[in-house]
Amino acid sequence: MNFLTKRLLDMSLSKKLFWLVLICCVIASFLFVHNNYAFYDDTIVAVTATKIVDEQTVTDRHDNMDKLFTQYVSAVVKNGSAQGDTIRLTNNYSKSQAFDEPYKVGDELFVTLTSSDAKKMSATITGVKRDKYLLLVAWILAIVLLLVGKKQGFSSLLTLLVNAVILSFALDLYITQSNQSLLWISAGCIILFTILSLLFVNGRNKKTAAAIIATLLGTFSSLLITYLALTVTSGKGLRYEELQFITRPYEIVFMAGLFIGALGAVMDVAITMSTSMFSLYDKDPTMSIKALKKSGLEIGKDIMGTMTNVLFFAYVSGSIPMLILYFKNTLPFGYTLSVNLSLEIVRALAGGLGIVLTIPLGLYSALFFIKRQRAKL
């Protein structure tokens, strides 16, 4: 406790003010999402009691054992004309919970009233109110980022927000101006994302300039190679039917996603390369270009392996539940993998190419700036 008070006293006034404002924001936003029922058109109910009334063991046609439950749920209506009334709902769920879930006291649900007769109200459950949990996780992320990252944490938080806003605007532009190609829009986005993120994270200097050039060259060249590879093989082995939620030409959407997905990793490599090249040069400005090149390449080799893995896991992991569902429905192994993983694997491979190509690109663009600086001296 002493330590805490000391920390608090040591803090500058502006810092104290910052945390105070932040805490106010947290409290205000929590108060809002816990009381925003009036903003929803759908009826919301809060669960007050639950009771399992039926339970049976079932075996499906693939010999999978499961259990089915029937649950009575009592809930209070939170908005609309029936506000304050108690309602009884029936919920069926399975033990594996693929499409359903049990409800517990405190959960808030969206329902459609099927009969609004005050005596015998009935309704069907249409969804769960999850906004408060999203807010909770977002605040945990923001606070951990600020506590660990301090100033840099704050700027990365800003970068994330700005990038999300740009993306949203770009997609709006794409939806409303259907004659604009998604690829051009995402190319524009990528240039904006790169410049803004690297400037925010690293400040205005030569290192950033070198990293921006390397990122753009790396992303566009890996995209070009992927595009050529897709054209040469005419996309054989790719199962686009797995690309869910598709309302637009799927190949373009896939390419655009591939384009944006690798960007973060490529930026990461580019900035690591240029920062370490410049710090080598700053330590010993007499270092020969050849020696610089060699050290830079060593650093590149060090980060290559882990970076390609970052993308691989970020892409492939999301398919786990779907893969298990396929396996358990006794679909063939090879078919299941190719339907569910082909696009993710191509994404990971294309991203990996981007990462690997950015290593020499980052090296040479940093060298270019270092040479220019040297010529001036």
Partner 1 sequence: MNTIVLMTILLLLAMTIIGGKKGFRSFIALFLNFSVMIILLFFMNIQSMNAIVLTLIACVVIACINLFFINEITTTTKAAFLSTLLTTSILLLVILAVSDLALIHGFGEEETEELGAFSPLIGISFMQLAISVIIMSTIGAITDAAIAIASPMREMYIHHPTSSRKELFQFGLLIGRDIIGTSTNTLFFAFIGNYLALMIWFKDLSYSIGDIVNSKIFSSEFITICCATIGVILVIPITAAIAAQFFVRKSSDRK
CA 240, CA 39: separation in Å to the nearest integer?
A: 38
Q: Closest separation between CB of residue 291 and partner 1, Å?
A: 17
Q: Closest separation between CB of residue 9 and partner 1, Å?
A: 21
- Range in contact with partner 1 (rule: CB under 8 A) among 76-84, 111-119, 287-295, 341-349: 341-349
179 binds partner 1 (CB under 8 A): no
- Which amino acid is residue 128, in one-letter code? V
- Range in contact with partner 1 (rule: CB under 8 A) among 2-10, 74-82, 116-124, 261-269: 261-269
250 binds partner 1 (CB under 8 A): yes
Cα dihedral 319, 320, 323, 327, rounded to 10, equals 180
Q: Closest separation between CB of residue 374 and partner 1, Å?
A: 25
350 binds partner 1 (CB under 8 A): yes
Whether residue 72 contacts residue 43, with contact meaning beta carbons closer than 8 Å, is answered with no
Q: What residues pair up with 77 in beta bridges, in sequence order?
A: 45
159 binds partner 1 (CB under 8 A): yes
Q: Which of residues 198-227 bind partner 1 (CB under 8 A)?
A: 200-202, 225-226
CA 77, CA 87: separation in Å to the nearest integer?
A: 7
Q: Which of residues 79-108 bind partner 1 (CB under 8 A)?
A: 94-101, 107
How many other C-beta atoms lie within 10 A of the C-beta of residue 257? 15
259 binds partner 1 (CB under 8 A): yes
Q: Which of residues 281-340 bind partner 1 (CB under 8 A)?
A: 297, 300-318, 320-321, 323-329
Q: What is the distance, to the nearest Å, from the Cα of residue 175 to the centroid of all Cα atoms in its chain?
A: 21
367 binds partner 1 (CB under 8 A): no
Whether residue 349 contacts residue 222, with contact meaning beta carbons closer than 8 Å, is answered with no
Candidates 162, 183, 229, 287: give the one binding partner 1 (CB under 8 A). Answer: 229
Q: Closest separation between CB of residue 5 and partner 1, Å?
A: 21
Helix/strand/coil (H, E, C) string of 102-126? CCCCCCEEEEEEEECCCCCCEEEEE
Q: Which of residues 101-140 bind partner 1 (CB under 8 A)?
A: 101, 107, 110, 127-131, 133-134, 136-138, 140
How many other C-beta atoms lie within 10 A of the C-beta of residue 232? 9
Helix (H, G, I), strand (E, B) or coil at 311: helix
- Range in contact with partner 1 (rule: CB under 8 A) among 20-28, 165-173, 284-292, 368-376: 165-173
Tell me which residue has tokens 């669960």: 47
Q: What are phi and psi of 345, to 5 degrees?
A: -70, -40
191 binds partner 1 (CB under 8 A): no
CB closer to partner 1 out of 57 and 376:
57
CB closer to partner 1 out of 349 and 370:
349
Whether residue 70 contacts residue 54, with contact meaning beta carbons closer than 8 Å, is answered with yes
205: DSSP letter: S
Q: Site for partner 1 (CB under 8 A): how many residues? A: 132
CB closer to partner 1 out of 72 and 250:
250
